[in-house]
Structure 1
């Protein structure tokens, strides 16, 4: 009997800050980009700051809306959802 690892409902989200912009990259374990994934950005008080969608390469970027810790939520549909946290210190300024 042969078994393979299961990655059901897994999706990857990576974010980094460059200047006054936050860049995100979203992809599935097999390397495919998350196309048109819904991205929501919340502040430390869980207030929605902005939302948008990933492009054809799984990328999304935005100007820093508030110099505070934030959580980025990616919903790639069909149960594929993940978060990425950015601390206040990472934002600079």
Structure 2
């Protein structure tokens, strides 16, 4: 009887923890084309991240640029540096994610 109570409590905690983790998820995709880097940001339910802050860092973790997503969750910018780049989206209220672009991808898109 005691074991089943512990199992029930564990299951409830697991269920509520999973919901909290999913609630703070945001998706970010980036690609290089024609000398520009294009980003797309959206929530798991398909809503676009409008007004999210996009930050771009080089391999030394130096901030290269910052911008804001449009109503379609898009943000594009000229290649700031040929390097491994980390692109971070901050959609507010704990919704944050990052995307890695390798130096080879950046070079290929020039």
TM interval, shorter chain, is over 0.9
1:34 is aligned, of 29, 45, 49, to: 49
Q: What TM-score comes out, normalization by structure 2 length?
A: 0.78
Q: Which has the higher helix share?
A: 2
Residue 29 (structure 2) aligns with: 14
Structure 1 vs Structure 2 CA RMSD: 1.5
Cα distance in 2 for residues equivalent to 1:47 and 1:83: 15
Residue 77 (structure 2) aligns with: 62
> Could you list the per-position Cα deviations for residues 36-60 of structure 1 after superposition, in whole angstroms to 9, with x for gaps in the alignment?
0000000000000000000000000
Cα distance in 2 for residues equivalent to 1:61 and 1:54: 9
Cα distance in 2 for residues equivalent to 1:65 and 1:78: 28
Runs (5+) with no aligned partner, structure 2 = 1-14
Runs (5+) with no aligned partner, structure 1 = none
From the CA coordinates, give the structure whose radius of gyration is larger: 2
Matched, 1:86 2:86: no
Count matched residues.
Answer: 91
